[in-house]
Amino acid sequence: MTTTRLAPEQLSLRIDPASLGFDDTSTLPTGALPWIGQERAETAARFGLAMDQPDYNLFVLGEVGSGRATLLRQLTRAVAAERPVPPDLCYLHNFDAPERPRALRMPAGQGRELRQLMGKLSRFLQSEIPLRLSSEDFKAESERIQNAYQAEEAKAYGELVAFAEARSFNLFRESGHLVFTLIGEKGAALTEAEARTLSKDRRAEIDKAEQELRDEIARFLEKTRPMLRVMNEGLAALRRQTVKPLLDHELQTIRVSLKKQIKDSVKLGSYLDQVQHDVLEHIELFIAQDSDDEARQEALAQLLLGYRVNLVVDNADLSGAPVIAEDNPVFHTLFGRIEYQAEEDVMMTDFFRVRAGSLIRAHGGFLLLHLRDLLADELVWEKLRRFMRSGRVQIEEPGSSLMPMAAVSLQPEAVDVETKIVLIGSVDEYYAVQEADPEFARHFMVKVDFAESFPASDETRAASALFVAHTCRKLGLPHLSAPAVARLIEDAHRQVDDQTRQSAIFARTEALVAESAGMCRARGASRVEREDVDAALDARRQRHNYPEQRLRESIAEGERLITLHGEQVGQINGLTQIDLGDWRFGLPVRVSARTHAGTQGLLNIEREVEMSGPIHDKGVLILHSYLTALFAHLAPLALNASIVFEQEYHGVEGDSASCAELFAVLSALSGVPLNQGIAVTGALNQHGEVLPVGGINEKIEGWFRVCEASGLDGRQGVLMPARNLRHLMLERPVVEAVEQGRFHIHTAAHLSEGLELLTGLPSGLPVAPAVEVDYPAESVLGRAQQTLQAYRRACQRAGSAGRTRRLRT
């Protein structure tokens, strides 16, 4: 078994611009964004949006930048355009309980019409009622009622006056009160001085007469009050009789104008009846008076405020169902609020200050929310959970009890809401909710799973070109040539390290289009070419790769010990990847091993000092298992071995260095030196097979740059797993160096292949597995076997000496 040296064409995927079928993106058709490589997600989304049953809300999961929010917004708008327009929602004054405003749903557009009609009614009543109540017919009938009362009252008053005069009292009216005075002998009112001169008997007679007069006045008032009440009732009935036909006509006009059948027609009819009753009960407020008219006008204005219509949801301008993307789902924007106004140290409000939130406004349509935003506010999360359970929204103002001033509170009528919620989150958030809150999760029965990558094909590349054209038009950028688009697609392959798959994170592609357009404009061109994309990628690297540059400089300056030439025993260059979030790069690290006789086995120094992660520890244990299996016929192994990543102070994770670690151990055991110009990456299983690793491109390029900085000698290269072949998407400088024979990339499917490449000797591993085997003496494993046998003899001698000493004591 031997390694395979890769040809330059195997190192990267190159897209032929001619295969794209266009000259530049300006010739591509316009239209909706395609669901590139997201057929599964699109099918699930369409299914969920078509389901009208409860609990078939959508949970959209995927990585940021995958287009999940954009594509769902686009699809929901397309679906919503085919759906009927949902009804308007109004809040009306509740005449029976003003603190509980009534909700009224009306066909789209009729809420606005009702508001206009009620406003028109208020203005009409203010102008027309006074006219009707000042007509000649009304005045004549009113005078008749008043005259009848006055005649009866005058008769009773005359009798009362006669009663008073018979007892020497003069009775008259003053400011609405009955006043009487005692009349003296001369027919004039008796003065106080004259009253004191009267005899005791006369004063007694006067007191008795006064009491009789008072009793008679009381009887007079008891007799005339019903007359007054009858007159007032008669006048009120006359006013109602005069105004009622007018009111009936206007309210009937409103009913006829709103002739469409509505679900809440009974509620609307009841409300209009209450308006009519309220107007008739307060007709006197419409009549101008000479005294205290300012107070009457204020009371009238307050009365008319109750006839307004608070249109909280107006769908008159919609042509389909609503689609609302709520990017700020705090409590009041999502569920609505009640506004307050400070008046004399009291927070006042009324039904007209009720405001609907996006959840109510999306009734009959779709509401897009991001899960992370909801989880940030426990109060919002709990309220949404209750809504998902009940399907009803109660508008309220949270924390009103904590207001610095006393508040007049409202409890608007709760409304049923039929909104399909599209909840957008990451994969981790989705499964966290599934585990932590299964009751909430069951309301989202449609899982829309966006892929991070997808198999590449001519169709996906054509769709990617459409996306680029759409981006250019949306952002007003110069269009891209076919070679430039081909370079973008190659970068999409690079992002997932796969020649057969493309990245589904199109946010990066969109950003790269914008940056490439900037490079194009900087050179004064009108079309983006391939070199502009390359320049944008180089500029991005320059902005982000400072940590990588500093680490490479530390190697060039000799701070980090990396040997690039020659051979060394027990030492090899492994390849690592460093991911800083915004930038990934590869870096070589020296892996060294030391062995000697003993019984402790393999020691992982990183593990001992707690600087390694569980995956790395697992890799070392697998390495130890395979090493034991290689020399099982010598078991138990008399071996102490240590492995370390030199000059690594920030911890180690991953198993991609397990091949390099085993090579170092076998070199230390056999005394065979390893080629220091070939860096190694690859994981290992218990059968010696080399497994694929991640970050293969960054690792190779990191090693290449280090070698290039010190000068390529034509013998340097990388040993990588053969199973990583399709993941190669190397940068052009690496490919060119391979073409020129200055750098080489080798692949191995089994440990033995790499061992032979690095040592130049046969590995000694038989082609067919054997239970017991002695490896050839001149092979790497044969030499390691000899060393282990020597260790065994040394341990046995040490053990015998120890027993002898113990016997002496």
Look at the block and give the residue holding tokens 């400089």: 553
To the nearest 10°, report the CA torsion of 254, 259, 265, 269. Answer: 30
How far apart, in Å, are the Cα atoms of 480 and each of 16, 22, 28, 219? 15, 10, 11, 105
Q: Quick one: which of 596, 103, 554 has its CA closest to 310? A: 103
Structure tokens, 636: 């138990």
* Per-residue pLDDT reduced to its tens digit, 674-685: 999 999 999 998
Q: Could you tell me which residues come within 8 angstroms of residue 543 by beta carbon, excluding any fewer than 6 positions away?
A: none
* Per-residue pLDDT reduced to its tens digit, 262-300: 677 888 889 999 999 998 888 888 887 766 678 888 888
How far apart, in Å, are the Cα atoms of 769 and each of 185, 663, 764, 772? 154, 20, 12, 9
Helix (H) or strand (E) holding 710: helix 696-710
Structure tokens, 100: 């509980």
On the question of pLDDT at 185 being above 70, the answer is: no
Percent helix, strand, coil in the chain (nearest 5)?
50, 15, 30
On the question of pLDDT at 430 being above 60, the answer is: yes
Pairing of β 674-675 and β 567-568: antiparallel
* One-letter amino acid of 497: D
* One-letter amino acid of 718: V
Residue 796 has a pLDDT of 80
Structure tokens, 289: 């008076």
Q: Could you tell me which residues come within 8 angstroms of residue 149 by beta carbon, excluding any fewer than 6 positions away?
A: 227, 228, 230, 231
Average pLDDT, the chain: 86
Residue 240 has a pLDDT of 79
Residue 159 has a pLDDT of 77
pLDDT: which is higher, 403 or 162: 162
Minimum mean pLDDT among 486-490, 605-609, 634-638, 708-712: which range? Answer: 605-609
Q: Band the pLDDT of 728: cuts 50, 70, 90.
A: very high
Residue 213 has a pLDDT of 75
Q: Band the pLDDT of 803: cuts 50, 70, 90.
A: very low
3-state secondary structure of 359: helix
Angle ∠(37,41,47) on CA atoms, nearest 5: 140
Structure tokens, 135: 């007509």
Q: Band the pLDDT of 798: cuts 50, 70, 90.
A: confident
Backbone angles phi and psi of 442, in degrees to 5:
-70, -15
The fraction of the chain above a pLDDT of 70, given in percent, is 91
Residue 190 has a pLDDT of 65
On the question of pLDDT at 375 being above 80, the answer is: yes
On the question of pLDDT at 808 being above 50, the answer is: no
On the question of pLDDT at 46 being above 70, the answer is: yes
* Per-residue pLDDT reduced to its tens digit, 648-662: 766 676 778 889 989
Tell me which DSSP letter residue 779 carries.
Answer: S
How far apart CA 467 and CA 71 sit, in angstroms, is: 12
To the nearest 10°, report the CA torsion of 248, 250, 256, 261. Answer: -80
Asked if residue 454 lies in contact with residue 36, where contact means CB atoms within 8 angstroms, the answer is yes
3-state secondary structure of 770: coil
Residue 809 has a pLDDT of 27
Asked if residue 103 lies in contact with residue 363, where contact means CB atoms within 8 angstroms, the answer is no
pTM as predicted = 0.81
Angle ∠(587,588,589) on CA atoms, nearest 5: 120
Minimum mean pLDDT among 334-343, 355-364, 643-652: which range? Answer: 643-652
Residue 807 has a pLDDT of 32
Residue 493 has a pLDDT of 95
Asked if residue 708 lies in contact with residue 737, where contact means CB atoms within 8 angstroms, the answer is yes
Pairing of β 346-348 and β 406-407: parallel
How far apart CA 440 and CA 426 sit, in angstroms, is: 17
Residue 559 has a pLDDT of 85
* Per-residue pLDDT reduced to its tens digit, 751-770: 999 999 999 999 888 866 55
- Return the beta strands (E) in 630-776 as ranges: 640-645, 674-675, 678-680, 683-684, 690-691, 717-721, 744-748
Q: Please report, in angstroms and rounded to a whole number, the separation of the first and last CA atoms in the chain.
A: 57
How far apart CA 133 and CA 243 sit, in angstroms, is: 8
Backbone angles phi and psi of 801, in degrees to 5:
-65, -40
Q: Quick one: which of 705, 465, 385, 442 has its CA closest to 564? A: 705
On the question of pLDDT at 136 being above 90, the answer is: no
Greatest mean pLDDT among 152-156, 321-325, 351-355: 321-325
Minimum mean pLDDT among 120-134, 139-153, 417-431, 469-483: which range? Answer: 139-153
Residue 187 has a pLDDT of 60
Q: Quick one: which of 682, 685, 675 has its CA closest to 716? A: 675
On the question of pLDDT at 255 being above 80, the answer is: yes
What value does the mean pLDDT take over residues 531-558?
91
* Per-residue pLDDT reduced to its tens digit, 219-243: 877 777 777 777 777 777 777 778 8
Pairing of β 169-174 and β 88-92: unpaired
Structure tokens, 272: 């209009």
Q: Is 647 left (phi over 0), alpha (psi -120 to 50) or beta?
A: left
On the question of pLDDT at 600 being above 60, the answer is: yes
Cis peptide, bond prior to residue 636, ω within 30 of zero:
yes
How far apart CA 420 and CA 322 sit, in angstroms, is: 11
Q: Band the pLDDT of 131: cuts 50, 70, 90.
A: confident
Residue 150 has a pLDDT of 74
Minimum mean pLDDT among 186-200, 460-474, 503-517: which range? Answer: 186-200
Number of helices followed by number of strands (H, E) in the chain: 26, 31
Structure tokens, 333: 């924007």
What value does the mean pLDDT take over residues 727-746?
94
3-state secondary structure of 394: coil
* One-letter amino acid of 572: I
How far apart CA 238 and CA 250 sit, in angstroms, is: 19
What DSSP assignment string belongs to 323-334?
Answer: EEE-S---HHHH
Tell me which DSSP letter residue 347 carries.
Answer: E
Look at the block and give the residue holding tokens 């078991």: 635
Beta bridge partners, 102, equal 92
Q: Band the pLDDT of 194: cuts 50, 70, 90.
A: low
pLDDT: which is higher, 173 or 383: 383
What value does the mean pLDDT take over residues 420-448?
93
The fraction of the chain above a pLDDT of 90, given in percent, is 50
What value does the mean pLDDT take over residues 349-371?
93
Q: Quick one: which of 365, 467, 371 has its CA closest to 420? A: 365
Backbone angles phi and psi of 744, in degrees to 5:
-135, 145
Minimum mean pLDDT among 123-132, 455-464, 501-510: which range? Answer: 123-132
Angle ∠(758,761,767) on CA atoms, nearest 5: 100
Q: Band the pLDDT of 317: cuts 50, 70, 90.
A: very high
Asked if residue 118 lies in contact with residue 104, where contact means CB atoms within 8 angstroms, the answer is no
